[in-house]
Amino acid sequence: MVFNGSAVLITGASRGIGKATAQEFLAGGARVAINGRTEASVAQAIKELGGHERLEGAPGDVATAAGCEAVVGAAVEKLGGLDVLVNNAGVFTQTLMAETDEDLWDSLIDINVKGTYFCSRAALSALDNSGGAIVNVASEAGLNGYAGITAYCTSKGAVVNLTRSMALELAPTVRVNCVCPGVIDTDMARIGFADLSKEAEFYPLKRIGTATEVAKGILYLASPDAGFITGAALAIDGGATAGH
Ligand SMILES: NC(=O)c1ccc[n+]([C@@H]2O[C@H](COP(=O)([O-])OP(=O)(O)OC[C@H]3O[C@@H](n4cnc5c(N)ncnc54)[C@H](O)[C@@H]3O)[C@@H](O)[C@H]2O)c1
Buried/exposed code over 60-71 (b: 16+ C-beta within 10 A; e: otherwise)? bbbbebebbbbb
**What value does the mean pLDDT of the chain take?**
97
Taking residues 130-136, what's their average pLDDT? 98
Radius of gyration of the chain (CA): 17
CA distance 173 to 130: 9
188 lines ligand 1 (CB under 6 A): yes
Q: What is the pTM of this model?
A: 0.98
The amino acid sitting at 178 is: C
pLDDT in tens, 88-120: 999 999 999 999 999 999 999 999 999 999 999
Task: Find out whether the beta carbon of 219 lies less than 6 Å from any atom of ligand 1.
Answer: no
CA-angle at 180, arms to 104 and 177, nearest 5°: 105
Residues 22 and 35: their CA atoms lie apart, in Å, by: 10
Question: How far is Cα 87 from Cα 49, in angstroms, rounded to an integer?
Answer: 19
Domains recognised in the chain with CATH numbers? 7-242 (3.40.50.720)
CA of 13 to the centre of ligand 1 (A): 8
Interval 43-66: pLDDT, tens: 999 999 999 899 999 999 999 999
Output the residue whose Cα is nearest ligand 1's atom 38.
Answer: 12
- Residue 1: per-residue pLDDT: 76
Is ligand 1 within 6 A of the CB of residue 217? no
